């Protein structure tokens, strides 16, 4: 086929015959030639005006596929639309069958497509959609609270196995990565502070710096961000996939509430796991700071810990830990909510998973900022 | 040994998954212009055989020649010239869910031809119309379509490059009887109008009686029988017999008989 199409002698063509109104077609009328054929047709029609009766000779057509058939059919249709009578001669039976099939299946008129919306309409739609998203998240929060209240009244019906499983995957399995990252963060903070403190000879205050910043702010925040990326995305992807495969509908028809089975265990497990992880990252972060203080400022481990005891109050520690359950609720709810927003295609699982991570990290940082303002009002 | 009319020639094909033998010395020839069906019980290796022809999976040993060229051992680059000459419709349609139906067809056209946008759009719409979809289906996303429409859209994509050879995996599975009858007619029309060779894997006895020229039964790791439906129906092998004379087989056979 490739030989015949590359040689000009065999190239597909249509040209006006000797008598007026006589069009000859030749060569392979196939997809590979479609663009060239279209140009030939246009050239034919631009020639001298055609009489009412037109004969199209297809004797020399060596092959006809659907694309070639379409061009032939379109030529006939366009000619008939402006009042010509079109006849085919030399049409092989299989070509005639193809033309009949094309004529049968194609709609007489193309459908009108709606024009794309203007800028204003698009802005309006985007605002409306983000408003709807916020409302949706809020109503999801309400539904979860109700489900939680129901579950607390009937603790026997709680899915304890699912909770334990989620504790394992979101909590225990996250220990290495959260530990490593907060240890590194402790090192970084101490390293940055060391330079400044040495200049004023206040080496010992490294314990204040690392202790306060890690316990109050950084360790709850870094843990929440890691868990949002690690578990929040997994929640969205899992629930989204269940939605695509209609397993959520299956659960509902069996009579198992998807909230009870899929959302509550995740929320409860994360409310337990995130504060515990935060305590752990507190320890790891301070450990990192201690190592750096020892290496850069010659502050021994015992000296560091003595100073830490004086510098960091229990309130600071509790403030850090106290934020963790709030972050946990945000991460679990946003992850699950975005999972439920998947609309049935594999593509949207990926989209909603991305949105869940971006949204939960955004909300975690926003809420953290609000906590800071509230605590400064309360002078804590 | 080589049949000049053969489009697909499978010789001494062996497939194993670990210790489990799927095919043992399978031989099969599919000729130009026929509608060939592969049948057999679930898990007998029909789909595996299809995947091996499509170079999605490699057998342990043997030879598969398509258009007279060996397909086994080709990398994706070497496979491309062959892949442009055939189309495949997957059982669950496998449409790209991020694209509309028209864009699904256009993706194939744009990748392998140099048509300008207007003509490419027209040809894509033609393929969609040929499969019996309504004109507005082209601008819909796969998840907005019913199962039957999704199948037809998958067929439109398989036909995008006007292939010589069309593979259909369970073309009527999950369709209502009316849509399935439409597919029967469509398969025959396409073969008659385009001179296609069609190889399908199916369980649908009505489709087999109405559209298949020749049928091969795969079972017990090999080909149990090849022939027209009529010839197979007269064979004595227990597996084939159960297939045809089970309650469903009987109904379809009698109906096909009455229509003649």
Q: Does A31 contact B123 at a Cβ distance shorter than 8 Å?
A: yes
CATH number for the domain spanning A88: value is 3.30.750.24
Residue that terminates a domain, selected from A90, A105, A120: A105
Q: Does B135 contact A111 at a Cβ distance shorter than 8 Å?
A: yes
Nearest-CA neighbor of B199 among B12, B73, B70, B39? B39
Phi, psi of B103 (to 5 degrees): -65, -30
Angstroms from B99 CA to nearest CA on chain A: 10
Q: Residue A170: what pLDDT?
A: 93
Residue that terminates a domain, selected from A41, A75, A105: A105
pLDDT tens-digit readout, A289-317: 999 999 988 899 999 999 998 888 999 99
CA B197 from centre of chain: 10
Contacts of A345 in chain B (CB under 8 A): 97-98, 141-143
The listed range with the strongest mean pLDDT (A39-43, A245-249, A274-278, B83-87) is A274-278
Q: Residue B193: what pLDDT?
A: 80
Q: Residue A10: what pLDDT?
A: 65
Residue A132 domain-assigned (yes or no): no
Q: What is the DSSP letter of B136?
A: G
Q: How far is residue A237's CA from residue A336's CA, in Å, rounded to a whole number?
A: 9
pLDDT > 70? residue B250:
no
Angstroms from A32 CA to nearest CA on chain B: 7
Angstroms from A69 CA to nearest CA on chain B: 10
Q: Does A34 contact B193 at a Cβ distance shorter than 8 Å?
A: no
Buried b (16+ CB within 10 A) or exposed e, A275-290: bbbbbbbbbbbbbbbb
Q: Residue A151: what pLDDT?
A: 85
Contacts of B188 in chain A (CB under 8 A): none
Q: How far is residue B222's CA from residue B220's CA, in Å, rounded to a whole number?
A: 6
The domain containing residue A97 runs over which residues?
Answer: 2-105
CB A328 within 8 A of CB A271: yes
Do residues A343 and A252 both lie within one domain? yes
pLDDT tens-digit readout, A228-266: 999 999 999 999 999 888 888 888 777 777 888 899 999
Strand order in the sheet with B6-17: B20-31, B6-17, B61-66, B69-70
Do residues A58 and A179 both lie within one domain? no
Q: Does B115 contact A70 at a Cβ distance shorter than 8 Å?
A: no
Nearest Cβ partner of A65 from B142, B143, B162? B162
Per-residue pLDDT band at A8 (split at 50, 70, 90): very low
Examine the predicted complex and report whether its ipTM is higher than 0.90.
Answer: no
Neighbouring-strand partners of residue B28: B10
Q: How far is residue B6's CA from residue B212's CA, in Å, rounded to a whole number?
A: 17
Q: Residue A5: what pLDDT?
A: 41
pLDDT > 70? residue A1:
no
pLDDT tens-digit readout, A122-173: 999 999 998 998 899 999 999 889 888 988 888 887 888 999 999 999 999 9
Which residue in chain B has the smallest CA separation from A100? B193
Q: Does B161 contact A31 at a Cβ distance shorter than 8 Å?
A: yes
Buried b (16+ CB within 10 A) or exposed e, A83-108: eeebebeebeeebebbbebbeebbee
**Cα A143–A354–A358 angle (5° rounding)?**
75
Angstroms from A65 CA to nearest CA on chain B: 6
pTM for the whole structure: 0.72
pLDDT > 60? residue A7:
no
Residue A84 domain-assigned (yes or no): yes
Nearest-CA neighbor of B9 among B234, B199, B173, B194? B199
Q: Residue A4: what pLDDT?
A: 40
Neighbouring C-alpha atoms within 13 Å toward the C-beta of B219:
16
Helix (H) or strand (E) holding A56, with range, is: strand A53-64
pLDDT tens-digit readout, A339-362: 999 987 888 999 999 999 999 999
Residue A141 domain-assigned (yes or no): no
Nearest Cβ partner of A345 from B116, B125, B142? B142
Do residues A216 and A313 both lie within one domain? yes
State mean pLDDT over B76-81: 86
SS3 content of chain A, % helix, strand, coil (to 5): 75, 10, 15
Nearest-CA neighbor of B180 among B158, B160, B210? B210
Long-range CB contact pairs, A206-209, < 8 A, 24+: A206/A289, A206/A293, A206/A297, A206/A299, A206/A304, A207/A289, A207/A293, A207/A299, A207/A304, A207/A305, A207/A307, A207/A308, A207/A311, A208/A307, A208/A311, A208/A312, A209/A289
Q: How far is residue A120's CA from residue B186's CA, in Å, rounded to a whole number?
A: 46
State mean pLDDT over B199-226: 88
pLDDT > 50? residue B66:
yes
Nearest Cβ partner of B195 from A70, A94, A344? A94
Per-residue pLDDT band at A368 (split at 50, 70, 90): very high
Which residue in chain B has the smallest CA separation from A106? B129
Do residues A164 and A98 both lie within one domain? no
Please provide the DSSP assignment of B223-235 as one string: EEEEE-HHHHHT-
Phi, psi of B131 (to 5 degrees): -85, 5
Q: How far is residue A259's CA from residue A254's CA, in Å, rounded to a whole number?
A: 14
State mean pLDDT over B183-205: 84
Where do the structural domains in chain B lie, given as residue ranges? 6-85+165-259, 95-162
Nearest Cβ partner of B126 from A38, A70, A347? A70
Q: How many domains does chain A have?
A: 2
Tokens read off for B213: 């020229």
Angstroms from B186 CA to nearest CA on chain A: 10
The CA-to-CA distance between both ends of chain A, in Å, stands at: 82
Taking residue A354's Cβ as centre, other Cβ atoms within 10 Å add up to 13
Angstroms from A105 CA to nearest CA on chain B: 5
Q: How far is residue B83's CA from residue B81's CA, in Å, rounded to a whole number?
A: 6
Q: Residue B111: what pLDDT?
A: 86
State mean pLDDT over B113-120: 88
Q: Residue A108: what pLDDT?
A: 60
Q: For chain A, give the mean pLDDT.
A: 88
Q: How far is residue B229's CA from residue B249's CA, in Å, rounded to a whole number?
A: 11
State mean pLDDT over A180-184: 96
State mean pLDDT over B104-120: 89
Q: Residue B174: what pLDDT?
A: 76
Neighbouring-strand partners of residue B166: B87, B198
CATH number for domain B6-85+165-259, candidates 3.40.50.620, 2.102.10.10, 3.20.20.80, 3.40.50.300: 3.40.50.300
Any idea which of A49-58, A106-115, A218-227, B21-30 has the lowest mean pLDDT?
A106-115
pLDDT tens-digit readout, A50-108: 888 888 888 888 888 888 888 999 888 888 888 888 888 888 888 888 888 888 887 66
Q: A-side interface with B, Cβ within 8 Å? A: 30-32, 34-35, 38, 65-67, 70, 74, 94, 97-98, 100-102, 105-107, 110-111, 113, 343-348
């Amino acid at each position: 086929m490739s030989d015949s199409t590359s040689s000009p002698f065999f190239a597909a063509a249509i040209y006006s015959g000797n008598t007026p109104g006589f069009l000859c077609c030749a060569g392979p009328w196939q997809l590979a030639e479609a663009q060239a054929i279209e140009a030939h047709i246009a050239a034919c029609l631009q020639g001298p005006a055609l009489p009412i009766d037109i004969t199209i000779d297809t004797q020399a057509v060596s092959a006809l596929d659907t694309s070639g058939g379409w061009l032939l059919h379109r030529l006939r249709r366009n000619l008939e639309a402006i009042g010509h009578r079109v006849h085919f001669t030399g049409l092989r039976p299989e070509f005639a069958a193809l033309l009949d099939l094309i004529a049968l299946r194609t709609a007489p008129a193309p459908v009108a497509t709606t024009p794309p919306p203007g800028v204003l309409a698009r802005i309006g739609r985007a605002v409306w959609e983000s408003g709807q998203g916020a409302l949706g998240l809020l109503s999801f929060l309400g539904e979860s609270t109700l489900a939680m209240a129901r579950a607390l009244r009937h603790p026997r019906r709680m899915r304890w196995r699912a909770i334990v499983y989620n504790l394992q995957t979101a909590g225990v399995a996250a220990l290495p990565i959260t530990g490593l990252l907060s240890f590194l963060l402790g090192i970084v903070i101490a390293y940055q502070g060391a330079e400044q403190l040495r200049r004023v000879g206040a080496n010992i205050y490294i314990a204040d710096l690392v202790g306060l910043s890690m316990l109050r702010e950084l360790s709850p925040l870094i843990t929440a961000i890691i868990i949002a990326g690690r578990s929040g995305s997994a929640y969205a992807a899992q629930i989204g996939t269940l939605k695509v495969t209609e397993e959520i509908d299956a659960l509902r028809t069996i009579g198992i509430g998807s909230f009870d089975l899929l959302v509550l265990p995740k929320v409860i497990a994360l409310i337990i796991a995130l504060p515990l992880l935060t305590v752990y990252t507190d320890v790891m972060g301070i450990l990192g700071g201690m190592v750096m203080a020892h290496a850069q400022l010659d502050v021994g481990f015992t000296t560091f810990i003595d100073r830490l005891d004086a510098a960091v109050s229990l309130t600071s520690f509790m403030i850090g830990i106290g934020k963790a359950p709030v972050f946990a609720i945000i991460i679990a709810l946003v992850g699950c909510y975005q999972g439920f927003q998947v609309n049935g295609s594999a593509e949207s699982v990926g989209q909603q998973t991305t949105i869940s991570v971006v949204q939960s990290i955004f909300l975690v940082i926003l809420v953290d900022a609000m906590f800071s303002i509230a605590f400064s009002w309360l002078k804590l | 040994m080589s049949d000049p009319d053969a489009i697909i020639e499978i010789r001494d094909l062996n497939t194993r998954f670990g210790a489990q033998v799927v095919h043992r010395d399978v031989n099969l020839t599919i000729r130009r212009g026929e509608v060939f069906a592969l049948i057999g019980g679930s898990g007998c290796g029909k789909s595996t055989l299809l995947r091996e022809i499509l170079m999605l999976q490699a057998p342990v040993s043997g030879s598969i020649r398509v258009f007279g060229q060996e397909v086994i051992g080709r990398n994706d680059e070497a496979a491309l010239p062959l892949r442009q000459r055939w189309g495949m419709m997957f059982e669950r349609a496998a449409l790209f869910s991020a694209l509309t139906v028209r864009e699904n067809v256009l993706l194939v056209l744009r990748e392998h031809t140099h048509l300008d946008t207007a003509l490419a759009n027209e040809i894509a719409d033609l393929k969609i119309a040929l499969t019996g979809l309504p004109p507005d289906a082209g601008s819909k996303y796969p998840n907005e379509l019913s199962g039957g429409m999704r199948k037809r859209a998958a067929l439109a994509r398989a036909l995008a490059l006007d292939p010589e050879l069309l593979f259909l995996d369970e073309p009527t599975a999950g369709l209502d009887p009316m849509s399935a009858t439409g597919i029967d007619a469509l398969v025959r029309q396409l073969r008659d109008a385009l001179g296609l060779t069609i190889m399908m894997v199916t369980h649908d006895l009505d489709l087999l009686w109405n559209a298949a020229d020749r049928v091969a039964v795969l079972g017990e790791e090999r080909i149990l029988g090849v022939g027209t439906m009529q010839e197979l129906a007269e064979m004595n092998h227990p597996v084939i017999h159960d297939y045809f004379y089970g309650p469903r087989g009987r109904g379809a056979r009698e109906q096909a008989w009455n229509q003649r």
